[in-house]
Amino acid sequence: MWRDYFGPRTNLYGVDIQDACKACEKEGTRVFIGDQADPMFWEGVKEQVPKFDIVIDDGGHTPEQQRVSLDQLLPHMRPGGVYCCEDIHGFPNEFASYVHKLSHRLNDSKTIKENKDDNNRSLAGASNPFQARVNSIHLYPFMAFIELNDDRVTEFVAPKRGSIWDYEQR
């Protein structure tokens, strides 16, 4: 199915805990057998696989499995990549809460400085490492998407528009 969607030159990598899934391997498709909740398993995978463009986590459905996979694979993705985790269900869901907490890092503004004499850079600040890499986070019913920046973002700039600018940093 994925080869039909992404095209014949796509390299597909699968992960499962069942040895029988190795039967799905063929040219352009490789299956790794291991526990997705084990960071050491992911270290071995990352040594053998180039950076990922797209990750679709449809593996184990426990928050710990999903969190470990995200933590291990997000840094191993190419710029412009998309990380998707499905089957986020249950209330409260610890993985959905974890992703929501990650989104707070997109709003970090500790380094923003006011430049009163420069209307084009009225507010400017360096990005933190998370902002430099992550473009957006989306939570939908039972799914989470994390989109990476095409290029590293080094700073955020807010130009002054209009005649009044009241901004109070809290």
Rg (CA), the chain: 20
N-terminal to C-terminal alpha carbon distance within the chain: 50
Task: Please confirm, yes or no, whether 138 is among the known catalytic residues.
Answer: no
Whether the link from the prior residue into 92 is cis, omega within 30° of 0, is yes
Catalytic site residue from 61, 100, 104, 138: 61
The pairing of strands 77-86 and 143-148 is: antiparallel
Q: Report residue 30 as tokens.
A: 């490789």
- Active site residues per annotation: 61
